[in-house]
Amino acid sequence: MAETRYVFVTGGVASSLGKGIISASLAKLLQSRGYNVTIQKLDPYLNIDPGTLNPYEHGECYVTEDGAETDLDLGHYERFLNIRTSQDNNVTTGRIYKSVIEKERRGDYLGKTVQIIPHITDEIKRRIMLMGTQHKYDVVITEIGGTVGDIESLPYIEAVRQLKWELGRRAMFIHLTLVPYLSASKELKTKPTQHSVKALLEEGIQPDILVLRSEHELSENLRRKVALFCNVDPDAVIQSIDVDTIYKVPLLMKEQNLDEIAMRKLQLTGENECDMSKWQSFIDKMDSATEVVRIGLVGKYVELPDAYKSILEAVHHAATYNNRKAKIELIHSESLTEENVGKKLKGLQGVIVAPGFGNRGTEGKIIAIRYVRENNIPFLGICLGMQMAVVEFARNVLGWKKANSTEMDHATQWPVIDIMEDQKNITNKGGTMRLGAYDCKLREGSKAYEIYGKANVRERHRHRYEYNSKFLKDYEAAGMVATGTNPDTGLVEIMEIPTLKWYVCCQFHPEYSSTVLAPHPLFLSFVRAAIGE
């Protein structure tokens, strides 16, 4: 296709309406018509990236193959589209300002006053256009974080207003709003939507498509009214009603012809039919699964499941392909004691111990791991989950009672997990971990090898500490073996206890690369073990 098309997605009325899911759904439908589509997220905060944010603030930090620490929406993009995103798919205000200020210091603007318009807006435009000019996508969907009217999003709104002017019919706007239901009067209210569109119009943007999020069906009348007040074609007022899984949203959008309307607006004339058959069969599988598999996830952010978004999704993918419904129980690692662990983990068919940073909750993780090891319950440890499994084994099998990670106990006599050599002199916290995809070589005959069905894999990382190979002989002699290592550095990537039913832990994050149409083999195998197959 000759010229890239650009879709800008804005939100109004409230945050968390699901712009990411709507963007991903439209992208999926266009991809199913043969277009090469990507999604980009513009985040209006001053952090360079969300890597330094607490999960309580921002949910999970999602890591791309090229090592960017990004917004969790990028995880949805990859899971829906089954494509890889990169550094360029997530841009923050911090990143924009940083590059403009660096240019100013270099003298690139010599003689000029550097201003939000045009310098910041130009940098935003450059980052958007890059997806078409450099990455050569047919369609780029750019989601603008925040809500229309926020001070923070103004430069973005202005930048896309200018782009629309420059790109003409190659660009269009989708605006997502909320239609609340007042139970007292039993009415759906469109006024917030009208106001939100008005705010957008004041900033110079006329939406082409409105997506209305609501808990109830919207009548034909209501849609007509919204269309009239907001200068939008009646068929371009789309409802997005609550559903039991986000993976049904593309199909709901398809029923209302979102893809065809977008193509019409963008003057895309592709002849291909939209082929969602594989997606549909995933949904059918999901709907027809009645038997439950109970999986425990031990972590310290149980109040906030978004902190473990990719893990939860990966378990759901794996359960679906195993014809089960996953019932995932989040277990607070801080609440676990030797006395209550049996009760708290009762009935779980498999347990995952989550990634994390810092001391809080680690002793509870160790207690959970001991319990699953001693009771032969399928266990998957991820990143800190693997590190704590290594500590648990040292303490309770090798008898090194004070063993620990030096992250938790700097002066431990048994530093079975230690800071990586090249991390020792790093002082800046942002973007300095071991990040992104690295090679891992699997030992023949191991469970990992059997699961992946090959010797060389690549997985994504986000950590500063590693398994201390100095102790490997003792571990292997006692039954815990390193079955995956980095071929260049020897860093241990996977540890297993082969005598147990299913005990695999990894330094990397398999959850980042599990998608709807390509579930991750480790999760598939873990769930299979959990259901006793």
Determine the Cα–Cα distance for residues 85 and 220; give it in Å rounded to an integer.
38
Instruction: Assess whether 511 carries a catalytic annotation.
Output: yes
Closest approach, Cβ 383 to ligand GLN, in A, equals: 3
- 460 scored as a contact of ligand GLN (CB under 6 A): no
DSSP string, 90-140: EEEHHHHHHHHHHHHHHTTTTTSPP-IIIIIHHHHHHHHHHHHHTT--SEE
Q: Which residues contact 118 (CB under 8 A, 6 or more apart)?
A: none
Distance CA 205, CA 198 (A): 9
As measured in angstroms, the least distance from the Cβ of 41 to ligand GLN is 21
Closer Cβ to ligand GLN, 172 or 383, answer by number: 383
Q: Which stretch binds ligand GLN (CB under 6 A): 36-44, 165-173, 219-227, 457-465?
A: 457-465
Q: CA 377, CA 351: separation in Å to the nearest integer?
A: 7
Tell me the closest approach of the beta carbon of residue 223 to ligand GLN, in angstroms: 45
Task: For 157, list phi and psi in degrees, rounded to 5.
Answer: -60, -45
52 binds ligand GLN (CB under 6 A): no
What's the token pair of residue 510?
């398999």
Q: Which stretch binds ligand GLN (CB under 6 A): 91-99, 287-295, 337-345, 456-464?
A: 456-464
Q: Examine residue 492 and tell whether it contacts ligand GLN (CB under 6 A).
A: no
Is residue 462 a contact point for ligand GLN (CB under 6 A)?
A: yes
Tell me the closest approach of the beta carbon of residue 299 to ligand GLN, in angstroms: 10
Give yes or no for residue 357 binding ligand GLN (CB under 6 A): yes
DSSP H/E element including 362: helix 362-374
Select 173 or 467, whichever has its Cβ closest to ligand GLN: 467
Nearer to ligand GLN among residue 229 and residue 357 (C-beta):
357
Terminal-residue alpha carbon distance, the chain: 47
DSSP string, 473-497: HHHHHHT-EEEEE-TTT--EEEEE-
Selecting among 61, 383, 440, 506, the annotated active-site residue is 383
Number of residues located near ligand GLN, criterion CB under 6 A: 11
Residue 465 is a binding residue for ligand GLN (CB under 6 A): yes
Nearer to ligand GLN, 309 or 463 (CB): 463
Stretch that binds ligand GLN, among 183-191, 317-325, 366-374, 462-470 (CB under 6 A): 462-470
Choose, by CB under 6 A, the member of 443, 464, 474, 479 that binds ligand GLN.
464
383 forms part of the interface with ligand GLN (CB under 6 A): yes
Can residue 8 be called a binding residue for ligand GLN (CB under 6 A)?
Answer: no
CB atoms within 10 A of CB 282: 18
Q: Are strands 292-299 and 350-353 parallel, antiparallel or unpaired?
A: parallel
H or E stretch including 228? helix 220-230
384 counts as binding ligand GLN under rule CB under 6 A: yes
Alpha helices per DSSP H over 16-72: 19-31, 55-58
Which residue of the set 60, 69, 123, 511 is catalytic? Answer: 511
Nearest to 320 by CA among 520, 502, 506, 510: 520
Interacting residues of 399 by C-beta distance below 8 A, sequence separation 6+: none
Min separation Cβ 353 and ligand GLN, Å: 10
In angstroms, give the least distance from the CB of 465 to ligand GLN: 3
Query: CA–CA separation, 460 vs 531, rounded Å?
Result: 27
Q: Does 355 help bind ligand GLN (rule: CB under 6 A)?
A: yes
For position 407 contacting ligand GLN by CB under 6 A, the verdict is: yes
104, burial (CB in 10 Å: exposed 0-12, middle 13-18, buried 19+): middle
Nearest distance from C-beta of residue 416 to ligand GLN, angstroms: 13
- Could you say whether residue 511 binds ligand GLN (CB under 6 A)? no
Catalytic residue among 58, 76, 509, 520: 509
Residue-wise DSSP of 172-184:
EEEEEEE--EETT
Of positions 213, 223, 344, 463, contacts ligand GLN by CB under 6 A: 463
Least distance between ligand GLN and beta carbon 135 (Å): 28
Q: If binding is defined by CB under 6 A, does position 109 make contact with ligand GLN? A: no
Residue 509 designated active-site:
yes
Our CB check for ligand GLN shows the closer of 158 and 407 to be 407
**Which range touches ligand GLN (CB under 6 A), out of 112-120, 148-156, 266-274, 459-467?**
459-467
Report whether 258 contacts 250 (CB < 8 A).
Answer: no
Closest approach of Cβ 405 to ligand GLN, in Å? 7
Q: What are phi and psi of 398, to 5 degrees?
A: -80, -15
Name, in order, each residue with C-beta under 8 angstroms of 223's C-beta and a sequence gap of 6 or more.
212, 234, 237, 239
Residues within the interface to ligand GLN (CB under 6 A): 355-357, 383-384, 387, 407, 462-465
Residues acting as catalytic residues = 383, 509, 511
